[in-house]
Amino acid sequence: MRGLVYIFLFVLATHSVLFAQEKKTVQQDTSKSVYINKGIVEARKAWVKSAIIPGWGQLSTNVNLWSISKVVLIYGGSTLLAMSYVENNEKYREFLSELQYRSENNGQAKPGLYQSYPTSNLNEAKNIRKRNRQVVIASFFGVYAINIIDAYVSARLKYFNVDKNISMQIAPSIINSSSSAYAYGSVPALKITLKL
C-alpha cells in the first residue's frame, strides 16, 4: 500500500512539473513579437484595389495632387483608347461592307463614298483598321497593368524610410600598413561611412 502512495505522489509530481513546463513554453511562444512590414501589406491591398477599380489603389495610398493626376491619366488614356477603338471599328466595318458588296456584285462599287477607290486599297485600309483595333485592345491591357504596377510601387514607396538619419559619406583616406608592398608603408584609399 505504501508503494502505491509513493507511485501516486511521484506521478502527481511529474505531471505537475510537465504541465508547468508545457504552460511555460506556451507563454514564451506568445510573448514573441512578429515583425510585419507595413509597406508589403499596404502594397498588396493597393494592387488588389487597383485590379478591381483602376485608380482606387493610388487614391487609397495617398490622396494628393500627384495621385489624382495619375487617376486622371488612367481614365483619360482609357477614354482616348475607347474613342480610337470605336472609330477604327466603324471604319473597319465600312470597308468590310464595301468589299463584301463588291465581291457579291462582280467587282462593281457601291454608290457612295468609296466608289472611286480600287479594291486593293480598300482591302489594305480594312487590314490597317483591323490591326489598329487590335493594338488598341492590347493598349487597354497595358494601361490596366501599368495601373496595378503603379499602385503597388506607390504603396511600397510610401513606407520606405529615407530620412536624415540615413546617410553615406565617401572621403579620401590612407591605410597604414607595415606589410605593404609600397615603399612608404601607406596606401591611399576611399573611406565609406554608412549611418543607419
In 3D space, the residue among 62, 71, 64, 70 whose CA is nearest the CA of residue 157 turns out to be: 62
- Identify each DSSP E strand in 8-139 by its residue range: none
pLDDT score for 183: 56
For the chain, first and last CA: distance in Å? 71
- CA dist 47 and 146 (Å) reads 10
**Dihedral angle of Cα 8, 9, 11, 12, to the nearest 10 degrees:** 110
Query: pLDDT averaged over consecutive 10-residue blocks of the chain (196 residues)?
Result: 61 51 48 78 93 93 90 95 97 93 86 84 94 96 96 88 72 74 69 80
* Residues in CB range of 152: below 8 A, 6 or more apart: 43, 44, 46, 47, 50, 57
136-156: per-residue pLDDT in tens? 999 999 999 999 999 999 999
73-105 pLDDT per residue, tens: 999 999 999 999 999 999 999 999 999 999 998
